[in-house]
Copies of this chain bind each other. A is one copy, B any other.
Amino acid sequence: MARIIGGVGCSHIPSVGAAMDNGKTQEPYWKPLFDGYEPAREWMRKANPDVVIVVYNDHAAAFDISLTPMFTIGAAPEFLPADEGYGRRKVPNVRGYPELASHLIESLVFDEFDINTALEMDVDHGLTVPLSVMYGQPREWPCRVIPLAVNVVKYPQPLGRRCYKLGKAIRKAVDEFDEDLTVAIFGTGGMSHQLQGERAGLVNPDFDKAFLDDLSGDVARLTNIGHVEYMREAGSEGIELIMWLVMRGALDDKVHEVYRHYHVPASNTGAGLIILENDQ
């Protein structure tokens, strides 16, 4: 049987990917951030999961304004890095896992989640940057990936509570998958940030720290945060944090924190990273 071996929460900041792609990680601006990624990469090397489910959002790359899909699982054998205006990001193509993806979709639909299926979907920085953060710059990604795209751009985004329940249903589906696989799950995006409007540049370290704390301490508080609280306290784009709740839902009720790293600023954003494992 497949099993979830851990969860990672990780910001997916485009300029973090660009800093790696352009060899700038040792510059003074970036070094403190990247130094903090090292222990996470060490964990990743040891954990070495067969599959990573990456919960992320598309930023008007694969999807456009014509159709806003709510929850979408990629079931293709391969996904290409999206062209976000500078050509496709020069990272390896992402290998999918159609059998597991189809199993997840069936199981989730039977559990009354209304999941869209993507068979062709370019994956943007929302997905590739966390892979870069956690794996560095390998020639091939050492895992297969199931992309799970969440609408966080168009209001109403799914409730945090719904995302958490989706995580629980994913856990059940993974547990039931009839292959001997190790699976990690990444919740990406955030943490607090606002890209738009006169309030652009908002960062709320207190909110972010409390969020990190309560992933292991008080999940019920997090799942009750509503749209307005996210937008007001964590910035209009801080609502991306609901995707971390999918990751959290896929873990046991009791987890412990293996590692965290928090740094301001990375471009316009507060950058956070956390690794959680189930209590034994």
Interface residues in chain A, defined as those with a beta carbon under 8 Å from any beta carbon in chain B: 65-72, 105-106, 109-110, 112-121, 151, 154-159, 161-162, 165
- Pick the residue among B65, B105, B110, B115 that contacts A119 (CB under 8 A): B65
Q: Separation in Å of the A228 CB from the closest CB of chain B? A: 12
Query: A69–B71 contact, CB under 8 A?
Result: no
CB contacts (< 8 Å) of A120 on chain B: these are 65-67
Q: Contact between A114 and B67 (Cβ–Cβ < 8 Å)? A: no
A154 partner residues in chain B, CB cutoff 8 A:
117
Most buried by B among A66, A116, A120: A116
Residues of B within 8 A of A105 (CB): 156
**Residues of chain B with a CB closer than 8 A to A114's CB:** 70-71, 113-115, 158, 162
A67-B121, A72-B67 known; A159 vs B109 contact (CB < 8 Å): yes
The winner among A65, A110, A161 for most chain B CB atoms within 10 A is A110
How far does the Cβ of A231 sit from chain B's closest Cβ, in whole Å?
15
A114 to B155, CA, bound (A): 12
CB atoms of B70 and A116 under 8 A apart? yes
> Do B162 and A116 touch across chains, with their CB atoms under 8 A apart?
no
Give the nearest-CB partner of A117 in chain B: B68
A65 — which chain B residues lie within 8 A by C-beta? Answer: 119-120
List 5 tightest A-B contacts by C-beta distance, closest first. Answer: A114-B114, A66-B120, A70-B114, A109-B156, A68-B117
Question: How far apart are the CA atoms of A121 and B67 in the complex, in Å?
Answer: 8
A222: shortest Cβ distance to chain B, in Å?
A: 17
Contact status A121-B66, CB under 8 Å = yes
Please, which residue of chain B has its CB at the minimum distance from the CB of A74? B67
Do A67 and B117 touch (CB < 8 A)? yes
Considering only CB atoms, which chain B residue lies closest to A115 in the complex? B70
Query: Can you give 23 A-B contacts (C-beta < 8 A)?
Result: A65-B120, A66-B118, A66-B119, A66-B121, A67-B67, A67-B69, A67-B121, A68-B116, A68-B117, A68-B118, A69-B116, A70-B109, A70-B114, A70-B116, A105-B156, A106-B155, A106-B156, A109-B157, A112-B158, A112-B159, A112-B165, A113-B114, A114-B162
Q: Within 8 Å CB of A157, what residues of B?
A: 109
| A118 CA to B70 CA, complexed, in Å | 11
* Contact partners of A119 in chain B: CB under 8 A: 65-68
Measured in the bound complex, the distance between the Cα atoms of B109 and A156 in whole Å is: 7
Query: Would you give the shortest CB distance from A108 to chain B, in whole angstroms?
Result: 9
The interface residues of chain B lying within 8 Å CB-to-CB of A71 are 114
The CA of A110 and the CA of B66, in the complex, are separated in Å by 22
